[in-house]
Amino acid sequence: MGLEVNEDDIQALVEEHGQETSTHELMDLHRRQQQEVMGDISSAEEEGGKRQAGQRSRMRH
């Protein structure tokens, strides 16, 4: 009772693996882009906070 594998089975497996890899790569790219955007937002918020503090300091003098 052996398993039979033909060329079509192999091709289907290769295609599925390629799609899974592509999906994984896309998910990884999306995750990295989200992290980059969040880093940019954090940097912008820090800059905004520094500017506001500087403006408050100048207003007091």
> Distance between CA atoms of 1 and 5, rounded to whole angstroms?
13
pTM: 0.49
**In the chain, pLDDT over 90 holds for what percent of residues?**
36
Q: Is residue 19, in this structure, part of any structural domain at all?
A: yes
Q: Is residue 1, in this structure, part of any structural domain at all?
A: no
Q: What is the pLDDT of residue 44?
A: 86
Q: How many domains does the chain have?
A: 1
Q: What is the pLDDT of residue 33?
A: 94
pLDDT band for position 17 (50/70/90)? confident
25 lies in which domain range?
Answer: 7-59
> Distance between CA atoms of 51 and 57, rounded to whole angstroms?
10
Q: What letter represents residue 31's amino acid?
A: R
Q: Is residue 21, in this structure, part of any structural domain at all?
A: yes
Q: Is residue 2, in this structure, part of any structural domain at all?
A: no
pLDDT band for position 45 (50/70/90)? confident
Q: Is residue 37, in this structure, part of any structural domain at all?
A: yes
On the question of pLDDT at 58 being above 70, the answer is no
- Written as six digits, the tokens of 33 are 């882009």
